[in-house]
Structure 1
């Protein structure tokens, strides 16, 4: 009988053990999020940015919350909320990885990564002094002295010639495609006036010149669409600018991409207007070139954030093509070439 009682007790003990084991819930890992900044955000370099991490654990407690910048631990606490003041003053512009990790009392963890971009404020170079200029329409522009020259530091957006007569606006693709090289016309990129403040207008070469003949002298002597006291720069005047910034005479006289970093010195810094990587874009010259894109001879718009192109006053002899300069988002040189006069390009004027 003794053996039987022991066996019966065992029958009841085993189910109890199994029931107890099944009732134990597996620990759930905590969750963590980076609340600020948000993934993909562009942040102006130079300030102090609050990096906020928040964690939660439904069946336990948070024993560690850590924030990392580029893989390096910068802050930690035994808390569910942690804020780190990230000082970006001495950091280079570019992409950064921010991370957060949370751990609970059962040593379960969760982590999250985001990418943010540090940018420099767009616009003029804050270390340089700028003048001002107004056109016939009342638009105001910054101006900058570079070497012996004074240039507009913004793209022209005037819609009337200096005598007050209107420049023809052509919006339709079919109408633009049907133009001959002598047609004087302008447009806004994608026919949207919202681009006017930053990118300016796009002009055919004939419009930029206001019907004047080609010139490659210094100064060009062609007022064109420019305000009184200013003119369309010649190819030779562009070379003066480029060589002041360090380009050799041999390179200046060459075609296509030339020089070293002169284009970067001309481009507006950061990514407010230029697409990444805006290679070399320092705006050390103060020229503040922004990408206005262009309109093809067929009337199609291209490359608003990639491409800045400016007419000169010179044509290629015996052709319907004129000389221009281009700056590009992933190049730091300056492109020199001639192309169809029916293109819609940006205009920068130079002081007489």
Structure 2
């Protein structure tokens, strides 16, 4: 447990790589992975094992209000505070050595907020960033794949619905104990763009329904007000992975394209027939690209990108017989 400066205990998992006698020699790189809204550190469990086997140390933690961590005061449920929590986790368990920061959705928003504002805290130790299914702002205009009119209503009424659920936690508790087919469909529709194993659907449902309804409600304003686009320029010299599913209705692909356009050393990956929680829907794709980025982080520091440098775009299509399209420098994603 790491206790923050405002007294919130955060549950942190630290996984060291195998020793030289039993596996790859430790690389010295620590990969720090932040989960998304209403999820917890289990959402990264499949990538953890791959990174460990590659010789990297892996740190995951449950954000305040999520998983096994304390809830804290509602006023602290902001992306900026999550960025401060990240700093305190790093100070406590990664005090030295090279670091790769990775985040999904709200977790990636928090690390962009932290790294963009406090880049000097890590300095040359920060070797790269992995940004999965996320956004630098404009979430108040997301239409959830429901069309302009219906989507606008859902966005406008969402905070009120979340607040009402927070006033009646028994509803969510009953749904948690006795899930219905409708709840499973709702989770699958918002989370995935293709069929996933039942175990993955259940894990996702358990994480979402396991989040206190009051926490769900209190984080809505910070998500709708989130805007860190101007901070990306401070991260432009870092190798990066920006990856998203083409069927992501929560942080649509154009949000990732906007991020990649500001990061010249990024690999911008679009996964076909994929939704929001890419790490669980297509774990092998995320693991492969994350491991590749980790290796880039261990290479000698790249020279500052030239003015004309542009991100590399890749499309991953997992349908039978489709394979992958070759990466294209500066091409459309």
TM-score by length of 1: 0.23
User: Which structure would you say has the larger Rg?
Assistant: 1
Select the structure that is richer in strand: 1
Select the structure that is richer in helix: 2
TM-score by length of 2: 0.24
With a CA cutoff of 8 Å and minimum separation of 6, indicate the structure with the bigger relative contact order.
Answer: 2
